Amino acid sequence: MRMVMCLKLKKELEGLERPTYPGELGKKVFENIAKEAWALWRKHMKMTRKEYRLTTIESKDRNCLEDAM
């Protein structure tokens, strides 16, 4: 089990098992975000995508989600 000091929850918790997002942002998430915080983000992302009708296919929509991340 890999532990990280979670930037979101401000405590040391179990980290993600593998990178969940590509690129530099994915590396930052993997190194600094706990499983628990990532689950909260996924729930929030789902709500945001529905509310604003965003899709990961459109680059402007991905940018919006990355900014929220």
pLDDT tens digits along 10-53: 999 999 999 999 999 999 999 999 999 999 999 999 999 999 99
The whole-model pTM stands at 0.87
Kindly list the distances between the CA atom of residue 9 and the CA atoms of 28, 35, 52, in Å, as whole numbers in the listed order. 15, 11, 26
Query: Among all chains, which residue has been given the structure tokens 């989600």?
Result: 65
For the stretch 58-69, pLDDT in tens is 999 999 999 998
Is pLDDT at 56 greater than 90 in this prediction?
no
